[in-house]
Amino acid sequence: MVRVLCVAEKPSIAKAVANHLAGQARAENVRGIQWVKNYKFDFGFDRWGQCSVTFTCVAGHIVEQDFGERYKKWTSCQPAALFEAPIESRIAAARKAVATNIEAEARYASILYIWTDCDREGEHIGTEIRDIALKVNPNMQVWRARFSNIERAHVIRASQNPVRLDEAQAQAVSARIELDLRLGVAFTRMQTLALQNMIPQQSEDRNKLISYGSCQFPTLGFVVDRYLRVRNFIPEPFWYIRVAHTKDDIDVKFNWRRGHLFDRMAVILIFERCLLAKSAKVIKMAKKPTAKWKPLPLTTVELQKMGSRFLRMTSEDVMKVAEDLYTKGWISYPRTETDQFDPGINLRALVGKQTQDGQWGRFAQNLIDGEFQQPRQGRNNDKAHPPIHPVNYIVPTTLNERERTVYEFVVRRFLACCSKDAVGEATDIEIDYGGEIFHAHGLTVIARNYLEVYRYDRWESSQVLPQYTVGETFEPTEANMHDGETTAPAYLTEPELIGLMDANGIGTDATMADHIAKIKKREYVIARTKTGGGAAGRGRGRGRGGARGGRGGRVGAAAAQNGGGDTGGVQEFIPTTLGIALIEGYDNMGFETSLSKPFLRKEMEVQMKAICEGRTTRNDVVQQNLEQYRAVFNRTVQQIHVLKSAVTKYVVNANHG
C-alpha cells in the first residue's frame, strides 16, 4: 500500500482532519513531545488509491535563521557588517523532536501531503517541512491541501484535490525573515552600543538593551505621537447657543446644528438674531424605528481591543488566556481575521451547549426556542479559521478568574451574534429659531434583544420627549450663549493602539500584543491604569472636546450614546524620556520616512504581495531594501550626535533636573 505522510501546522488541525478522513484515527505518541500525535489510518485517495496514512503536525516554524558563530558576539564585528553577513538556517532547538518525527515518518512514505494553514506563513512552513522530508527521502512526491476551514465535507473535498506548494508566497516570507533579522539586529546593536552609556543601567547584571524592530518602533511611534499632541495641545475657546423649552413638564434641550464656532462676535450676532425672533418654529417632528446592530463575529484584533477595554486585562494577557482556553478545548482557535461564519457550521448546536449555564443559559435557551438569527457577515475571511466562538461548555466557576472573564466574553459575544439587533424608536425634533436650526434627539429602547446577554454595549433610553407638531411655534423657556474650550486628547489607550497597529499593518493579529509588551519591557513606554470611565475615542482635538466651564451651566452633555460603558481599568501609554528621545532623534535625522513611522513596514507588505503575484522576486526585494536601509544606517551613524542630543535632552537632563 502507498504510504502518505500528512503534516499540519498545529496539533488541533492534525487531529480534526485525521478524524474526518479516518472516522476514528489511531493516535500514537511521539517521543519527546506530548502535544504531537501521529494519527494512523487507511484512506482512499482518488489519485493514489487506498493508502496507509500518518497524519502528524509541527507547531509553527521549525527552522530558525541566525548569523553564524563569527557574528554572534556583539564585539566580533561592526553592526554594519550584518547587512551582508551570512545567515545560517537550522532546526530551532525547541523543534528538534518535531523534525526527528518528520524524518522518521518520511523514510517510509512515498508521498508528503502538507496541511499547513493556507496563508503566507503556512506556505513557508510547508517548505520547511518539505526540505526536512526530502533530505531523508529525496524521492517523495510533495503535495499540499487547499482548505479554508475544518468542516468535514470541506476537508474531504480538499483531501481529493491536492495542489502544489506556492513557492512565491514562501519566498515572500523568506524575504521578510531576512530583512527583519538583518535590520533588527544591526540597528539594535548600533544604537545600544552608541547610547547605553548615557542611560541608567536596567539592573546590575544586565546592560540596557535599546532594541530596534520594524514593528516595535512604529508601535512606539504611535504612543509618542499621541503624547506630543497632548503635550502641545493649546485649548481654543469656542462659543455656542443652547435653547431649552419646557413642555408637558418636560425640559427639552435643543442643540445648535452648527455645534459651536470659534468666533465669539459671530456667535453674538447670531444669538441676537435669535432673541429678536422671539419665537421658534417646529420644522420637523419625526419618530422612526431605529436599531442598534448586534456585534460582528469575533476576530483576534477585536478580542484584544474589547479585552483591553472591558476586561481589565492587557492584550497580552487576553491572548495568553485565550490560547489556554483553546488548548483546553473550550473555545475555537483564537488567532483569526475572519468575521463571518461558514454556512456549514452548526451554530444552533453550539448555542445549545450553553443552555445549562446559570447566567446566560436562559438566553441561550430562548435562542434555541426560536429567537435564533443568523449572525451578521463581516468583510474579512482569512480562509483558515472561523471567528472565535465557544466550542464546549465549561462551568465558569471551575476556571480561574482570568479564564472565566475571557470565556464569558467569548460566549456572550457569540450568543449576541446569534441573537437579534436591539430595537428602539428615535425621536428627532428640529426647530427654526431666528434662522438657526436647533435639534433634540430622543431614544426609546423597545427591545433589548442581544443587549440582554452582551453587557459590554450600552444603549439606553433617553428622557421621553414631548409631542410637538410641525408648524407649531413657541417661545423658548431659555436661550443662552455659552462658552467652552477644546480639551486635549487623552493619552493613547491600549485598544486605540491595537486599532492603529491593525489599520497600519504593524504586526499580525497574533503578534500585536507582543510588540506592545516589548516596548514596555524595553522601558520605552510605561502603562498606567486609567481610572474612571469614558476612555476611548474621546476628544480628537479641535472642536471635539466637550464644552467645559460654560457659564450658563448645564453644558455637560448626556452620557455617550453609543459603545460607552468603559468600566475603567483601561491601560493608557505614556512614553518614557528614552522613548521620546529615540523617536525624536530619528525624526530629526531628516530622512524621507522616519523609522518611527508605519510607512516602511507598510511598504514591505506591498513588496511581499508583489513577490506573491510574481511581479518581483525575493532577491530583488531583499537587495533593494538592504540598499535603502544601509543608507539610513550609515547616515544614522554619521549623525549619531542627533540621536545622542535627543537622549541628552530627554533622559540625561531629565534625570539630573
In terms of CB distance, is 159 or 214 closer to DNA?
Answer: 214
Binding status of residue 317 toward DNA by CB under 7 A: no
Cα of first residue to Cα of last residue in the chain, in angstroms, is 79
Q: What is the DSSP letter of 76?
A: G
Q: Name the residue with cell 470565556.
A: 407
* Conformational region of residue 280, where left means phi above 0, alpha means psi within -120 to 50, and beta covers everything else: beta
Report how far residue 149's alpha carbon sits from residue 342's, in angstroms, rounded to the nearest whole number.
8
Binding of residue 618 to DNA (CB under 7 A): no
For residue 592, what are the β-bridge partners? none
**Least distance from DNA to the Cβ atom of residue 487, Å:** 34
Q: How far apart are CA 181 and CA 72, in angstroms?
A: 13
Angstrom distance (rounded) from CA 31 to CA 605: 39
Q: Which is nearer to DNA, 74 or 599 (CB)?
A: 74
Encoded one letter per residue, x for contact with DNA by CB under 7 A and - for no contact, window 152-191 reads ------------------------xx--xx--xx--xx--
Q: Return the DSSP state at 530.
A: P
Residue 212 found at the interface with DNA (CB under 7 A): yes
Closest to DNA by CB, 58 or 646? 58
Residue of 60, 396, 537, 563 that binds DNA (CB under 7 A):
60
Asked if 327 interacts with DNA (CB under 7 A), we say: yes
Alpha carbon separation from 45 to 1, 4, 82, 115, 231 (Å, rounded): 12, 10, 48, 15, 66
- Total of residues contacting DNA (CB under 7 A): 57
- β-strand 49-57 against 63-67: which pairing, if any? unpaired
Tell me: does residue 508 bind DNA (CB under 7 A): yes
Q: Which stretch binds DNA (CB under 7 A): 58-66, 347-355, 428-436, 607-615?
A: 58-66
Cα–Cα distance for residue pair 99/89, rounded to 1 Å? 14
The strands making up 250-256's β-sheet, listed across from edge to edge, are 473-474, 280-292, 422-433, 436-447, 250-256, 237-247, 478-485
Does 10 help bind DNA (rule: CB under 7 A)? yes
Least CB distance from residue 646 to DNA, whole Å? 19
Q: Is 59 in the site for DNA (CB under 7 A)?
A: yes
- Minimal distance, residue 579 CB to DNA, in Å: 14
Q: Say which residues have a Cβ less than 8 Å from residue 308's Cβ, sequence separation at least 6.
A: 314, 315, 318, 493, 494, 495, 498, 570, 571
In the complex, least distance from residue 613 CB atom to DNA, rounded to whole angstroms: 19
Helical ranges in 137-215 per DSSP H: 152-159, 167-195
Q: Site for DNA (CB under 7 A): which residue of 26, 28, 35, 78? A: 35
Q: Shortest CA distance to 596 belongs to which of 582, 576, 578, 606?
A: 582
- Name the minimum Å distance from CB 67 to DNA: 6
Smallest distance, DNA to C-beta of residue 123, A: 11
Closer of 57 and 443 to DNA (Cβ): 57
Kind of pairing, strands 2-8 and 111-115? Answer: parallel
Three-state secondary-structure class, residue 151: coil
Q: Residue 81, interface with DNA (CB under 7 A)? A: no
Contact status, residue 227 vs residue 574, Cβ threshold 8 Å = yes
Q: Could you tell me the smallest distance in angstroms from the CB atom of residue 187 to DNA?
A: 8
Q: Is the C-alpha dihedral spanning 268, 269, 275, 279 positive or negative?
A: negative
**What is the enclosing helix (H) or strand (E) of 573?**
strand 571-575
Q: Is 599 one of the binding residues for DNA (CB under 7 A)?
A: no
Q: How far is the CB of 36 from DNA (least distance, A)?
A: 8
**Residue 199 interacts with DNA (CB under 7 A): yes or no:** no
> Do 121 and 72 contact (CB within 8 A), yes or no?
no
Residue 74 as a binder of DNA (CB under 7 A): the answer is yes
* Angle between the N-to-C axes of helices 300-310 and 512-521, in degrees from 0 to 180, rounded to the nearest 10: 50
Shorter beta-carbon distance to DNA: residue 187 or 256: 187
Contact with DNA (CB under 7 A) among 297, 507, 575, 585: 507
Q: Which three cell numbers stand for residue 610?
A: 508583489
Piece in contact with DNA (CB under 7 A), picked from 203-211, 301-309, 355-363, 431-439: 203-211
518 part of the interface to DNA, by CB under 7 A: yes
Dihedral of CA 503/508/509/514: which sign? negative
Q: Are the CB atoms for 251 and 244 separated by under 8 Å?
A: yes
Please identify, using beta-carbon distances, which residue of 219 and 486 lies nearer to DNA.
Answer: 219
Largest Cα separation within the chain, whole Å, is 97
Nearer to DNA (CB atom), residue 530 or residue 601: 601
State the catalytic residues: 333
Reference 424, options 409, 438, 411, 441; nearest CA is 441
For 306-320, letters b (16+ CB in 10 Å) and e give bbbbbbbbbbbbbbb
Q: In whole angstroms, how close is the CB of 211 to DNA at the nearest point?
A: 3
Return the range that interacts with DNA (CB under 7 A); candidates 68-76, 265-273, 443-451, 624-632. 68-76
Nearer to DNA, 196 or 355 (CB): 196
Residue 316 or residue 483: which is nearer to DNA going by CB?
316
Q: Which of residues 92-131 bind DNA (CB under 7 A)?
A: 92, 94-95, 98, 117, 119, 121, 125
Name which of 92 and 283 has its Cβ closer to DNA.
92
Considering only the stretches 9-17, 405-413, 434-442, 627-635, report the one whose residues sit in contact with DNA under the rule CB under 7 A.
Answer: 9-17
Q: How far is the CB of 389 from DNA (least distance, A)?
A: 16
510 sits near DNA (criterion: CB under 7 A): yes
Q: Is 77 in the site for DNA (CB under 7 A)?
A: no
| 354 interacts with DNA by CB under 7 A | no
Contacting residues toward DNA, per CB under 7 A? 9-12, 35, 58-62, 64-67, 72, 74-75, 92, 94-95, 98, 117, 119, 121, 125, 176-177, 180-181, 184-185, 188-189, 192-193, 196, 206-209, 211-217, 323, 326-327, 335, 507-508, 510-511, 515, 518
